[in-house]
Amino acid sequence: MPSPRDDFNELMERVKQGREFTHASFEPIYYLVFPPSQILNVKRELPAWLAKLHNEGWEPSYLSIADTIADLLAEAPLRKLWIEADGKAPLQWKKTNDAISNYLSQRVLQQRLEEALEALAGQKNAILLVTDLEALHPYLRIGVIESSLEGKFRVPTVFLYPGVRTGKTRLKFLGFYHEDGNYRSVHVGG
């Protein structure tokens, strides 16, 4: 089984070659799929991958989904109300998760990704790595966000996806969600 490092190298070769014309969408969207057991190894590799990209002439940027969610929750308009409700019923995890899921589903996370993409549009050799997708559990799945941003991917965007590939376009987020085939991207690994 290839390592995430080997899969990353293969993925970057595909990024350099560009998308095939057989895809329904021509946006430069790529997924590096790796087993959830490799999440920490991928996090350890990220600085080396960013340095490698820079050395190869890319202008790499990354967006951490975990950090973005933390920022969004810190500035959420209902934050005070959530904290009060949590204080009254601290073991009501379903209510907490539902509130966070509802907030993130209002396109706030999508807007942050869109802003990151817009900031890179037109920059020569720009590439965006989207990390920490596991932070979406149990709130959202990245395929929903990706599909809502159709037409916005103007620079190669690589999603570091913890899951299992079950076909050319089908993925199982974290290895236990139902497989989803609604991705318009190239998948490597998994």
- Binned at pLDDT 50, 70 and 90, residue 162 comes out as very high
Tell me, letter by letter, the H, E, C secondary structure of 85-124. Answer: HHHHCCCCHHHHHHHHHHHHHHHHHHHHHHHHHHHHCCCC
What residues make up the domain containing 147? 4-189
Q: What is the reported pLDDT for 159?
A: 94
Asked if 136 and 142 touch (Cβ cutoff 8 Å), the reply is yes
So what's the pLDDT on residue 81? Answer: 87
The pTM assigned to this predicted structure is 0.87
Mean pLDDT of 146-157: 88
Q: How many domains does the chain have?
A: 1
CATH number at 101 reads 3.40.50
Query: Cα torsion at 31, 101, 112, 184 (round to 10°)?
Result: 30
Reported as a single tens digit per residue, the pLDDT across 75-133 is 999 889 888 888 888 888 888 888 888 898 888 999 999 999 999 998 989 999 999 99
